[in-house]
Amino acid sequence: MPTRLPSLTGLRFWAALLVVLYHLARKVGEVPLLGPLAWYGRSGVTFFFVLSGFVLAWTYDGVPTTVRRFARRRFARIWPLHALSTALSLGADALTGAALPLAAALWSLPLVHPWARETVFGGNPASWSLGAEAWFYLLFPFLLRALAPRRRLWAPLAAVAAALGPALWAAGALLPDDPAVRGWLLDYLPLTRTPQFVLGVVTGLAVRHGRLPRVPLAAATTAVAGWHLLLVPWHAAAADSVWWGPYSASQLVPAPLFAALLVAAAQRDRATSGGPRLLAGRTAVRLGEWSYAWYLVHEIGIRCWLRVAGRPEPGAATAAVWLLLAGASLLAAGALYRWVERPCERALRGRAAHTTAPPPLHPARVVRQRRRAVTPGQPSSEPSRFT
């Protein structure tokens, strides 16, 4: 079984592109044809939450490790670039004369800012999703320990997690008729996004153990594309301010479609040791590696452009600004990945970054090996493990 899934890395770029186009359409101005399709590209964040659970389950299932080491690896992965992008965002605000969200920035550094509506956007607005990820990282060791040996729970739990998204969106009818409050509760509160992460964990476990039927990649891709096409006439029929509009639905409803896409891509990689070039080619994987930095810095560039130059004229001028801002921020992301993100991650992980992880083991085998390693009547000196 291949340990790496390059198609999933490639998919990260396409999800980040969706978010970038969403911000360009909403803030800079629409481009014909592409603008309406990108109007709800915020769903790319939902994809990342499902992907996070999937990849963590695939990586850590059956691999004995301590909770401390897991937390250290996750901290090394996301925090350095988060701190730098927060500083860059505050610096951009200061240079352009905007108000500095210092209190929200302080709450964002320990990644607790999305738990309150007043601080949800932190010092860098894009970082709200990292606060949700930090919550998922706290849950993951306990989820994996509870779920990995209980395969009969995977299918019903996946069904519940998939159904909770539409149920939460429908619950918007019961929430206060205030778009700001409803938006925070449905879109940004980490508890609301937890079912998406759990769905990713369960499907990741199921794919790793071969317990899902084959999902054609073309069919899964078509379903995701069809969902986004559906949002165009839906937007024309219902405003974002009403609860039945597509604003929250674009983030809460499509998690099962994204899970199916991940299943299809992972199965393809597992069967062929490489997916299609658009997902698993060298360029696609490299762009996927840049996606985290791109997600964190692109909105800062958009904000600076608008404060200095204002919105461009509709048409060709808007399209040119789209290309300029998207391209420049992607190049900046590549530089940040090479000279900041990866070096900091290796430094913070220490020796763990240079050692080879033990081969995946079935949880039952791990338990048997631990029992053999401990002398009867003598407690083990090994730290507690979550797999």
Q: Residue ranges per domain, the chain?
A: 6-373
| Residue 357: per-residue pLDDT | 42
**Helix/strand/coil for 75:** helix
Residue 335, CB-side half-sphere exposure with 13 Å CA sphere: 7
Q: Mean pLDDT of all residues in the chain?
A: 90
Q: Which residues contact 371 (CB under 8 A, 6 or more apart)?
A: none
pLDDT confidence of residue 386 = 63
Q: What is the pLDDT of residues 125-141, one digit of tens each?
A: 999 999 999 999 999 99
pLDDT band at 378; cut points 50, 70, 90: very low
pLDDT at 356 over 70: no
Q: What is the pLDDT of residue 37?
A: 93
pLDDT at 271: 87
Tell whether the model's pLDDT for residue 296 goes beyond 70.
yes
228 pLDDT higher than 50: yes
> Number of helices (H) and strands (E), helices first, in the chain?
17, 0
Q: How far is CA 224 from CA 129, 164, 229, 231, 258, in A?
A: 21, 19, 9, 11, 7
> Token pair of 345, please?
């991650």
Mean of pLDDT values over 143-167? 96
Q: Which pLDDT belongs to residue 302?
A: 98
Kindly state the average pLDDT of the residues 174-191. 94
Poorest-pLDDT segment among 10-19, 39-48, 61-70, 282-291: 61-70
Residue 350 — pLDDT band, cuts 50, 70, 90? confident
The pLDDT of residue 367 is above 80: no
Burial class (CB in 10 A: 0-12, 13-18, 19+), 31: buried
Provide mean pLDDT across the span 189-208.
98
**Listed range (68-77, 217-226, 240-249, 272-281) with the worst mean pLDDT:** 272-281
As a whole number of angstroms, the distance between CA 196 and CA 294 comes to 22
Residue spans of alpha helices (H) in 96-177: 102-108, 128-147, 154-170
